[in-house]
Structure 1
């Protein structure tokens, strides 16, 4: 097989294979890195005393505000306030468990989607036209073609690196959210601040949902690229399929880069 054609095939087929890589990385939560996770848990435990102090402060402020507004005239309001304190204390004490449940649900969905889309045989890319055209070319034309296709190969490799960077960035975000979780959780006890705690849980869920969007984007890319009949650089527009493959890869890059914003919109942000 000719070297330039091999490069193009390797670049595009690598994007099909990236589905498996991305699925594995997306399903790797904080606990999949024991060394790092132990550090995150230690930070989490170190923040807990501060969070409990904030929880107490928020409770007192809420209690004083309701007392001044005579909200405790009815016994139901007193019971409701105390139950809210117990609820906030329970969530804070089991924050790691709650976050693991949220991540576990998203990981289950991404595993199902990824398993359905990682069958490489479903995405056979047809390079027949490209191979046949290359075989008929002379030595000079082959060298010229090698120069023409090089930018495509570089751009595709660059896109792949950016995708992996975004996926790793998502993992860092999950780690940081896990470490700092007690602070926003403390706001659950205060009526006017509890929206911040709920927003935090929604944001964490959005980061988990981001992984699902990335996996779906990779599968859609692979399905589209499988229907591209790769042509050749002839100077007469017959290489439009190669450009189509490149634009599809750029579209996948856009999906991955914007996956966080889309996840937040889906979660209602």
Structure 2
């Protein structure tokens, strides 16, 4: 009689622990799939497409607050350019018509750039979106973890486990699931932080664009434009990170060692999060932006 009771208790505990492990794994892998899919969706968004309300706010602030300051900078830069142009020609003794034609052309370019700042800045992100979308077409199909296959392999492996090992596995899945949730929050912070940085960066765009017409002050505008390119192409580096993550996860074999496979998925997700944090510095280094 006692043997039957113990067997029933053991079976009940086995079902309880197996259900706990399966639930934790399903939730964990679902979170991973959701976040990798979110990365692909978020980095492919342009500033106006990500949040139209924020974009309109930034554009209005830029036009009403920053453009007047950019106009003052253009005036200063053009005056400085005119004085430099006149004095460098043997103290105004070698003045010709071509000099003034070139000066008025620079003036027109300066005003045109400031007047169309947002159009030019968004064109950079449109190019970045095209690159990300092209990369996403090759990567998206491989990023998702096949949850059904993973769970099926886990359940098969758990059938041969003792109660003590199932308890350890349940505790491990709870710990790893908690860590994965923390990683998910960090990934969300990185994605939203990048978009907020883009909005902040573009909000003052007219000021550096106003310096392009001068050789000396133009370094401000050149560096700013390199920064725009870096932000635009950071999304491509993020997609490459997701692609690498997908390849690493696909090599995990559940049937060999369930414990190492479990922590392997967690380790690869930590690596993904760390790699995403490095994309900003890498993109700026590639475009020599600082």
Common fold: TM-score over 0.5: yes
Cα deviation code 1:125-145 (max 9, x no counterpart): 753553223223344432332
- Deviation (angstroms), 1:98: 0.7
1:69 to 71, 88, 99: 88
Asked if 1:30 corresponds to 2:52, the answer is no
Indicate conservation of the 8 Å contact 1:19/1:114, yes or no: no
Q: What do you get for the CA RMSD once the two structures are aligned?
A: 2.4
Count residues with an aligned counterpart. Answer: 265
> TM-score of the superposition, structure 2-length normalised?
0.82
1:243 to 263, 266, 269: 263
Provide the rounded CA distance (Å) in 1 between the counterparts of 2:99 and 2:23.
72
1:256 to 255, 276, 279: 276
Cα deviation code 1:82-141 (max 9, x no counterpart): 322211211111111111211111111212222332225975475355322322334443
- Give structure 1 regions of 4+ aligned residues with deviation exceeding 6 angstroms: none
Matches within 5 A, 1:35-184: 35-46=53-64, 47-70=66-89, 73=94, 75-119=97-141, 124=146, 127=150, 129-184=153-208
Q: Which runs of 5+ in 2 are unaligned?
A: 1-17
Provide the rounded CA distance (Å) in 2 between the counterparts of 1:85 and 1:117.
46
Provide the rounded CA distance (Å) in 2 between the counterparts of 1:12 and 1:263.
30
Q: Of the two, which has the highest radius of gyration?
A: 2
- Deviation (angstroms), 1:12: 3.5
Aligned to 2:31: 14
Worse-superposed segment, 57-66 or 136-145: 136-145
* CA 1:122–1:178: 2 relative to 1, 3 Å: closer
* CA 1:19–1:240: 2 relative to 1, 3 Å: closer
> TM-score of the superposition, structure 1-length normalised?
0.88
Provide the rounded CA distance (Å) in 1 between the counterparts of 2:143 and 2:207.
48
Q: Report SS of the residue matched to 2:212.
A: helix
Indicate conservation of the 8 Å contact 1:221/1:252, yes or no: yes
Indicate conservation of the 8 Å contact 1:213/1:259, yes or no: yes
* CA 1:75–1:19: 2 relative to 1, 3 Å: farther
Indicate conservation of the 8 Å contact 1:84/1:189, yes or no: yes
Indicate conservation of the 8 Å contact 2:169/2:259, yes or no: no
Q: Report SS of the residue matched to 1:217.
A: helix
Cα deviation code 1:24-72 (max 9, x no counterpart): 2122222122222221111011111111111111111222233232277
Worse-superposed segment, 120-129 or 243-252: 120-129
Indicate conservation of the 8 Å contact 2:36/2:143, yes or no: no
Q: Report SS of the residue matched to 2:215.
A: coil
